[in-house]
Amino acid sequence: MAMLEVNNLKTHFKTQDGVVKSVDGVSFSLEPGETLGIVGESGSGKSVTALSIMQLNPKPPVEYPEGEILFEGQDLLKASDSRMQKIRGNDIAMIFQDPMTSLNPVFTVGNQIREAIRIHQQVSKQEARERTVQVLKDVGIANPEQRADEYPHQFSGGMRQRAMIAMGLACNPKVLIADEPTTALDVTIQAQILELMVDLQERYGTAIIMITHDLGVVAQLADKVMVMYAGRAVEQGTTEEVFYDPLMPYSWSLLRSLPRLDTAGEVRLLPIKGAPPSLIFLPKGCNFSPRCPFVKEECHEIDPALEEKKPGHRAACILSVEEIEESKHRVDEQLGVEG
Amino acid sequence: MSERPNAVPNGSPNGSQAYTGEHLLEAKNLKMHFPIKAGVLKRTVGHVKAVDGVDLQVRKGETLGLVGESGCGKSTLARLILRLLEPTDGEVLFEGRDVLKLGRSEMLGVRRNMQIIFQDPYASLNPRMTVGNIIAEPLKTHNVGSSQGDRKKRVQELLEIVGLSPEHYNRYPHEFSGGQRQRIGVARAVALNPKLIICDEPVSALDVSIQAQVVNLLEDLQKEFDLTYVFIAHDLSVVKHISDRVAVMYLGKIVEVADRTTLYNQPRHPYTNSLLSAIPIPDPEKERERRRIVLTGDVPSPANPPSGCHFHTRCPRAQEYCKEHEPDLEPQEANGTGDAPTDHQAACFFPVMEGQRIEEPATSTPYRAGE
């Protein structure tokens, strides 16, 4: 059995305008030491999936009408608050996107890391302090003894993100959920942070869920990928499968809409027309049908389920593998003529 | 794409005679030092050297990309060019005239030829004005169109040009998505038929699938209206896609300028080299093979920049000499051609030469079609 298994998770929010199905039937599993990349646009349900695992969605309005989140065999959706508090930060930790708003400005960085250690582990203040300095050192902060006594505003953006990672790793979690950990950072700092995460994963065997909209980051880190669109997983496979042989038109379009370093300027970008749908008024049939470049008549009627198209590689599309390959080829050829 | 017709003067009604020089815009030794004030008396205790001696030429009809980390002075430079900030020192020549010496009314005439598109499509549109009024505002300011009806027609035309519909005229910004708002920002910028548009991170705030729409729109408009762009971004892939030439900034200075192919294939400045190696490429196999130069530390504070070459504190090639001497932006020789200096300029004493590049760039298409 996998360490973390999410089965048919549904996270719905009741609002005045109707039910927002932020996550609508998502399944995946995670083994120790593995990295899962979750990609998708804003509003596709990536972060809500993460917050569901952590049980941090505000309740109400959140509801979990179906599904289960099994962590080492235990369903987190049914776990008591006190049980959840033991798991959160200890077994499963999370790094948030914006290190500026997720660190408390009125406590020192060391204080905040010590808090996590003291809550979860029976250690003396002295030991907690030593451990804090150690994790700060692990994440590459110079002069960790002094830095532990400084406040977040005395840290630069990259260092704050390091401090967040230190906090997440303080209790040696089994799963680390990183929600856009480098989006707010410059590329040079991003490279530092990603390298650090890989390094720490190798050392501690942590499983990582990497949530990002940056396909480059996913290509660099992930073993397998889940592509999300409008609350659904629309494609799942290994990183190679999804990047080299995408079987869902959305994943393909996303890859084609990126400017590339190697072809840049010679090939015109192929944007995805329109905008992501509102989660309250989803289109009929396939959610992606209004924007899909390969759309057929039936797509507006049939809502495709996520199914195995090739061994281990799943996609939600009514087109067969041959039809998708053929369509990809056709559009590429047209593009080649244009470029 | 690379061969664009030279911009023809677009008949600006303020009567400036056609300018024939090669450079539409030129910045000479441009400096912006913001004073740091402290104490009860608010005495100046130092300066933040946001832009510290920038020389830059923008040719007619080209797109000049400007990249660098946050805080390196890209946006300040954009504001100086538009004279939204008065520089501490230096010249800004637009069509050969020093913009900084112009009076109020002359400045107005120049302004209609220089426009800007801002990064944040949420903050740059007034939420209490209709889209029609937002786009008509520059027309009003510059007295274009004799009546309100005239202007309305022009605005509706502009809405169509940027891919929105004329019916959107009476709507408010909150009714639009991020990508659509950015289109409104673009419509406002092209309303006066300017010659130069400064795009300050125009796609950074947008979703990946929407970015491509706006990038393509900017490319189309450039062809249609002979626009010249200064394109500021921190995403080096987008910059490579849209730019003809690229300038790299570090701590208030330009450290390297070259045409895009040269810059991305043969970066001479170690900073450019490491920036390029830090971009994640959406190709798992390539990602596994490539080596990165991970720079240590953060960008130093522009209030207290390092001595000598500003980059020496993070540079993998730095030597003693770099700590005391500041390099100038100098023409680089093309590889193998000996003495012929090229358009390629870099500010480094020990530039990265052929074969010294640490990481090799991606050479084949990551997405392999039809395999």
For A159-204, the pLDDT digits (tens) are: 888 888 888 888 888 999 999 888 777 788 888 888 888 888 888 8
> What DSSP element (H or E) covers B131?
helix B131-141
Q: Give the pairing of strands B89-94 and A4-15.
A: unpaired
Chain A hits for B264, CB-CB cut-off 8 Å, are 261, 264
Q: How close is the nearest chain A Cα to the Cα of B303, in Å?
A: 15
**Model pLDDT, residue B246:** 94
- A257 → chain B, closest CA residue: B212
pTM of the model: 0.84
Which residues of chain A lie closer than 8 angstroms to B286, CB-CB? Answer: 219
Work out the minimum CA distance from A42 to partner chain B, whole angstroms: 7
The band of B361, judged by pLDDT with boundaries at 50, 70 and 90, is very low
Dist CA A204 CA A169 (whole Å) = 9
Please write the tens of the pLDDT for every residue from A259-308. Answer: 877 665 667 888 888 888 888 888 888 999 999 888 888 888 888 988 88
How far apart CA A316 and CA B210 sit, in angstroms, is 22
**From A156, A218, A273, residue closest to B298, measured CB to CB:** A156
B10-54 pLDDT per residue, tens: 444 444 456 777 889 999 999 999 988 888 888 888 888 889 899
Does residue A83 carry a pLDDT above 50? yes
- Selection from A171, A299, A313 nearest residue A239 by Cα: A313
How large is the average pLDDT for residues B245-270? 91
Distance from CA of B17 to the nearest CA of A (A): 34
Give the pLDDT band of residue B218 (cuts 50, 70, 90): very high
Which are the contacts of B167, defined by CB distance < 8 A and separation ≥ 6? Answer: none
Pairing of strands B63-67, B245-250: parallel
Q: What is the dihedral of CA A207, A212, A215, A219, to 10 degrees?
A: -10
Q: According to the model, what pLDDT value does residue B337 have?
A: 54
Q: At what angle do helices B148-161 and B131-141 cross, to 10 degrees?
A: 120
What residues of B are in contact with residue A261 (Cβ under 8 Å)? 236-237, 240, 264, 276, 279, 281, 361-362
Question: Which residues of chain B neighbour A288 with C-beta distances below 8 Å?
Answer: none
Long-range contacts of B327-332 (CB under 8 A, 24+ apart): B329/B55, B329/B253, B329/B254, B329/B255, B329/B256, B329/B257, B332/B258, B332/B268
Question: Quick check: A220 and B366 CB within 8 A?
Answer: no
CB pairs under 8 A between A and B: 167
How many separate helices (H) and strands (E) can be counted in chain B?
11, 12
The dihedral through the CA atoms of B284, B285, B286, B291 has a sign that is positive
What is the pLDDT at residue B360?
45
B313 vs B323: CA distance, rounded Å: 8
Whose CA is closest to B217, among B168, B252, B180?
A: B180
Question: What is the SS3 assignment for B170?
Answer: helix
Mean pLDDT over each residue of chain A, to the nearest integer: 87
Tell me which chain B residues have a C-beta less than 8 angstroms from the C-beta of A265: 1-2, 240-243, 260
Mean pLDDT of B308-315: 90
Q: What angle do CA A140, A143, A148 make, to 5 degrees?
A: 90
Residues of A in contact with B177 (CB under 8 A): 275
Give per-residue pLDDT as tens, B158-178.
999 998 988 899 999 988 888
- β-sheet bridge partners, residue B57: B26
Q: What is the largest CA-CA distance in chain A?
A: 69
Contacts of A259 in chain B (CB under 8 A): 212, 215, 235, 237-238, 240-242
Question: CA B142 to CA B267: how far, in whole Å?
Answer: 43
What lies within 8 Å, CB to CB, of B16 at 6+ separation is B95, B109
| All structural domains of chain B with their residue ranges | 23-34+50-243, 266-346
Rg of chain A on CA atoms, in Å: 21
SS in 3 state form for chain A? CCCEEEEEEEEEEEECCEEEEEEEEEEEEECCCCEEEEECCCCCCHHHHHHHHHCCCCCCCEECCCCEEEECCEECCCCCHHHHHHHECCCEEEECCCHHHHCCCCCCHHHHHHHHHHHHCCCCHHHHHHHHHHHHHHCCCCCHHHHCCCCHHHCCHHHHHHHHHHHHHCCCCCEEEEECCCCCCCHHHHHHHHHHHHHHHHHHCCEEEEEECCHHHHHHHCCEEEEEECCEEEEEEEHHHHHHCCCCHHHHHHHHCCCCCCCCCCCCCCCCCCCCCCCCCCCCCCCCCCCCCCCCHHHHCCCCCCEEEECCEEECCCCCHHHHHHHHHHHHHHHHHHC
- At A245, list the tokens: 């042989």
Q: Which residues lie below 8 Å from residue A145, measured CB to CB, with a gap of 6+? A: A133
Q: Which amino acid is at B201?
A: E
Separation of alpha carbons A170 and A130, rounded Å: 11
Are A35 and A4 in contact by the 8 Å Cβ rule? The answer is: no
- Tally Cβ neighbours within 10 Å of residue B96: 12
Closest CB to B275 among A188, A195, A329: A188
Task: Determine the residue of chain B that is closest to A240 in CA distance.
Answer: B284
pLDDT band for B356, please (50, 70, 90 cuts). Answer: low
In chain B, where do the E strands start and end?
A: 23-38, 43-59, 63-67, 89-94, 97-98, 114-117, 196-200, 228-232, 245-250, 253-259, 330-333, 341-346
Best of A143, A188, A218 to mutate (most B CBs within 10 Å, chain B): A188
Say which amino acid occupies B1.
M
Using an 8 Å CB-CB cutoff, list chain B residues near A270. 212
A41 phi, psi to nearest 5 deg: -80, 175
Share of chain B above pLDDT 70, in %: 88
Beta partners for residue B249, in sequence order: B254
Chain A residues with CB-CB distance to B367 below 8 A? 243-244, 255-256
Q: Phi-psi region for residue B212, left (φ > 0), alpha (ψ -120 to 50) or beta?
A: alpha
- B246 CA: distance to closest CA in chain A (Å): 13
What residue in A sits closest to B301 (Cα-Cα)? Answer: A156
What length is written for chain B? 371
Nearest to B66 by CA among B189, B232, B309: B232
Residue B340 in this model has a pLDDT that exceeds 60: no
Look at A261 and B2 and tell me if their CB atoms are within 8 Å: no
Query: What value of ipTM does the predicted structure carry?
Result: 0.81
CB distance B280–A329 less than 8 Å? no
Which of chain B's residues have a Cβ under 8 Å away from the Cβ of A42? Answer: 207
How far is it, in rounded angstroms, from Cα A295 to Cα A292?
Answer: 5
Burial of A135: CB neighbours in 10 Å, binned 0-12, 13-18, 19+: buried
Mutation target for A interface from B63, B180, B207: give the one with most A CBs within 10 A. B207
Are the beta carbons of A287 and A299 closer than 8 angstroms? Answer: no
Which chain B residue is nearest to residue A265, measuring alpha carbons?
A: B241
To test the contact with chain B by mutation, choose from A187, A212, A247 the residue with the greatest count of B C-beta atoms within 10 A, namely A187
pLDDT of the residue at B121: 83
Residue in B208, B278, B294 closest to A257 by CB: B208
Of A257, A259, A328, the CB nearest to B240: A259
Residues B307-330 have a mean pLDDT of 89
Cα gap A188→B248, rounded to integer Å: 14
Interface probe, candidates A154, A199, A262, chain B, greatest B C-beta count within 10 A: A262
Partners of residue B369 in chain A, C-beta under 8 Å: 328-329, 332
Confidence of residue B366 (pLDDT cuts 50, 70, 90): very low
Q: Chain B: give the shortest CA distance to residue A242, in Å.
A: 10
Out of A239, A243, A271, closest to residue B209 by CB: A271
Amino acid found at B348: C
Does residue B322 sit in helix, strand or coil?
helix
Whether residues A266 and B1 touch (CB distance < 8 A) is answered with yes
Higher-confidence position of B309 and A337: B309
All residues of chain A having their beta carbon less than 8 Å from the beta carbon of residue B249 are: none
CB A246 within 8 A of CB B347: no
Q: Which residues of B touch A268 (CB under 8 A)?
A: 216, 219
Let me know: does A10 contact A59? Beta carbons within 8 Å.
Answer: no
Q: Is the pLDDT of residue A56 over 80?
A: yes
Q: Which residue has the tokens 């450290």?
A: B255
Interchain proximity B213–A271, CB inside 8 Å: yes
Q: What is the pLDDT of residue B335?
A: 59
**Nearest of B266, B229, B275, B260 to residue B354 by alpha carbon:** B266
Beta-carbon separation of A254 and B278 below 8 A: no
CATH code: domain B23-34+50-243 is 3.40.50.300
Confidence of residue A335 (pLDDT cuts 50, 70, 90): low
Q: Spell out the long-range contacts of B300-305 with Cβ–Cβ below 8 A and sequence spacing 24 or more.
A: B300/B251, B301/B48, B302/B48, B302/B49, B302/B50, B302/B52, B302/B71, B302/B73, B302/B251, B302/B252, B303/B36, B303/B46, B303/B47, B303/B48, B303/B49, B304/B46, B305/B49, B305/B52, B305/B251, B305/B252
Does residue B131 register a pLDDT over 90? yes
Beta carbons of A325 and A249 less than 8 angstroms apart: no
Q: CB-CB: which of A213, A264, A271 is closest to B241?
A: A264
The nearest CA of chain B is from the CA of A191 a distance in Å of 6
Neighbours of B224 (CB within 10 A): 10
Contact (Cβ atoms closer than 8 angstroms) between residue A272 and residue A326 = no
